[in-house]
Amino acid sequence: MNYFKTTLLLAAMTALFMAVGYGLGRGPGMMIAFFAALAMNLFSYWNSDKMVLRMAGAQAIDRAAAPEFFDMIERLARRAGLPMPKVYLMDNDQPNAFATGRNPENAAVAATTGLLRRLSPEQVEGVMAHELAHIKNRDTLIMTVTATLAGAISMLTNFGMFFGGSRDRDNPLGGIAAIAMMLLAPLAAMVVQMAVSRSREYAADRMGAEISGKPLALAHALATISGAAAHIRNPEAEANPAAAHMFIINPLHGERMDNLFSTHPATENRIAALEAMARDMGSASSRTASAQGPWG
């Protein structure tokens, strides 16, 4: 199902790419944008994970570099029934993490050094279980491809703005309409990112809590990360905002409302859902213990 959604997304982003091309150069601009979009689609399917990791400043590590963290990922992946993903670290004081890859066999998880320093081991485990849930749900393909294509659209419009592409007097859109296209196209790409991300975060929270067995640890981690992200800058994310939707908490400043223009659901809503899940798990455990009696 996610492959079908990815195909639809690629088609929508291609159409958007062509619209921007038309705004910048009429028919020839649209055709150039079409072929560029085809090439970008193929490239993003096979290489978008590498692009996103590079944009985030992530470096691959092995067990020798961070044995406890590496062992944690291995244990959680086994519990989730997943192949061991590649493990990356980002030298960044803001606690955060994301997952990427076109399928579980070609997946990677990345965490910041701030995440390992500022959170307890149980909280880190909850965060990484959430990221493995994205891999298990096959969310990472569509999220990663979206990041790559949204970034490409932003670059295209910036290119057109720099060279004044659509200010040609022969362009029927006119200068004002062309400038509006340059401003609205990145916004449209951002809206696609938001729609892709928000519902998936709730599902990954739930599955991640099931994988780790500790929904409250994940809830506390979300609160800590959200608070830290509000005052600790993430320079790589600020430089590449098209990938912000991939992180467990929005790494950018000023995006915490649960509405159409946020890349993530409100952290408070996610925490409330996890707390309700913990209560349900506690009630189920109590009922099981009562049914078994004092001797099991």
Work out the angle at residue 80's Cα, subtended by the Cα atoms of residues 76 and 84, and round it to the nearest 5 degrees: 60
- Give Cα 181 to chain centroid, integer Å: 26
CB 15 within 8 A of CB 8: no
Q: What is the mean pLDDT of residues 96-112?
A: 95
Domain-embedded: residue 295: no
Q: Radius of gyration (Cα) for the chain, nearest Å?
A: 21
pLDDT per residue as tens digits for the range 195-224: 566 778 999 999 999 999 999 999 999 999
CB 244 within 8 A of CB 196: no
- The confidence score (pLDDT) of residue 49 equals 85
- Say whether pLDDT at 166 is over 50: no
- The confidence score (pLDDT) of residue 44 equals 66
Q: CB under 8 Å to 21, separation ≥6 — which residues?
A: 29, 30, 31, 32, 33, 34, 36, 156
Active site residues: 131
Rounded to the nearest integer, the mean pLDDT of the chain is 79
Distance CA 10, CA 141 (A): 11
Domain-embedded: residue 296: no
Domain-embedded: residue 265: yes
Domain-embedded: residue 294: no
Residue tagged 């291609």 (tokens) = 14
* 167 vs 153 pLDDT, higher one: 153
- What is the domain extent for residue 32? 2-285
Distance CA 217, CA 202 (A): 15
- Give Cα 144 to chain centroid, integer Å: 7
Helix axes 267-292, 215-229, angle to 10 degrees: 170
How many structural domains are present in the chain? 1
- The confidence score (pLDDT) of residue 294 equals 36
- Among 149, 194, 165, 160, smallest CA distance to 45 is for 149
Distance CA 30, CA 36 (A): 10
- pLDDT over 90 percentage in the chain: 46
Residue tagged 């449209």 (tokens) = 188
Domain-embedded: residue 75: yes
Poorest-pLDDT segment among 22-36, 88-102, 171-185:
171-185
Domain-embedded: residue 209: yes
- Say whether pLDDT at 176 is over 60: no
pLDDT per residue as tens digits for the range 25-69: 667 767 777 777 777 767 766 777 898 899 899 999 999 999 999
* 177 vs 232 pLDDT, higher one: 232
Domain-embedded: residue 160: yes
pLDDT per residue as tens digits for the range 273-285: 999 999 998 865 4
Domain-embedded: residue 293: no
